[in-house]
């Protein structure tokens, strides 16, 4: 048996053991050769069915499998996987104790724009039985993502962040739905589009912000936020799909696995 055949045997055996996404990412990032050989095999076998990625871990997932070694990630294979809600983030934003989920879609789009064969199926709101009302539909998320994916390079480069936040809210704020009972929680969605310094909202009049049940708001980047984001590993050139500071490539989170039914 050749060295190549031995490695392939190991890869198949490793996948048959149903490793966690974190373990698979650790193996994929050993070096560029292993990444090129293992990633396509792993993603094609694990992410073509009902196995998915938790919402908040999506940027990390894409980083390890498509950004860590960009030359090794094939651009000729269709990658299709589900993104589900998963567990809420470790802390809420704005001092609110309500459970929330948050992800910077700009990081996600910077990878997906370079890999057009990545296809994401969103399963965030409609199937969540613990909530009596959901302000948005999964199609609203897909619509917002399509807008970002099809945006011109110049306009895309003027975005500082595009943060999608899902948050629990009291049912009192929602329309009563008589056929959904047994819970007092609802789920809202907000899309915060932050523009780089010097860029005005008028530059984006051609952006369709009609995202159904998602509240869309524009914000202006300021120097304090910019400094904090740089220290946290935010990207300066999002369309490149690279992150300039330490973060994902040095700290490997427990991505876990999420089975979406």
Spans of all domains in the chain: 3-259
- For 3, the token pair is 């060295």
With beta carbons less than 8 A apart as the criterion, state whether 162 and 191 touch: yes
**pLDDT (tens digit per residue) in 122-163:** 988 655 566 778 888 899 999 999 988 988 888 898 899 999
* 34-38, 219-223, 249-253: least confident range: 249-253
Check: pTM over 0.85? Answer yes or no.
Answer: no
Query: How confident is the model at residue 233, as a pLDDT?
Result: 39
pLDDT tens, position by position, 22-61: 899 999 999 999 999 998 889 888 876 666 788 888 998 9
Listed ranges 9-18, 42-51, 206-215; the one with the highest mean pLDDT:
9-18
């Amino acid at each position: 048996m050749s060295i190549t055949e031995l490695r392939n045997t190991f890869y198949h055996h490793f996948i048959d053991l149903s490793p966690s996404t974190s373990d698979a990412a650790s193996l994929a990032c050993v070096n560029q050769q292993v990444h090129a050989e293992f990633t396509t095999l792993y993603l094609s076998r694990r992410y073509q069915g009902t196995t998915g990625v938790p919402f908040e871990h999506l940027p990390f997932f894409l980083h390890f499998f498509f950004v860590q070694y960009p030359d090794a990630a094939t651009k000729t294979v269709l990658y299709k996987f589900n993104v589900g809600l998963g567990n809420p983030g470790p802390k809420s934003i704005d001092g609110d104790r309500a459970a929330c989920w948050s992800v910077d879609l700009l990081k996600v789009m910077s990878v997906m724009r370079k890999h057009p064969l990545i296809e994401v199926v969103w399963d965030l709101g409609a199937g969540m039985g613990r909530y009596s009302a959901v302000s948005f539909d999964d199609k609203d998320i897909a619509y917002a993502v399509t807008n970002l994916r099809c945006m011109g390079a110049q306009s895309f480069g003027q975005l500082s962040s595009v943060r999608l936040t899902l948050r629990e809210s009291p049912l009192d704020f929602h329309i009563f739905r008589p056929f959904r009972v047994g819970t007092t929680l609802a789920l809202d969605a907000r899309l915060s589009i932050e523009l780089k310094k010097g860029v005005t909202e008028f530059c984006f009049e051609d952006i369709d912000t009609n995202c159904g049940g998602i509240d869309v708001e524009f914000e202006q980047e300021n120097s304090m936020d910019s400094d904090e984001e740089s220290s946290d590993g935010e990207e300066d050139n999002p369309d490149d799909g690279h992150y300039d500071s330490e973060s994902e490539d040095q700290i490997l989170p427990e991505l876990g696995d999420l089975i979406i039914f």
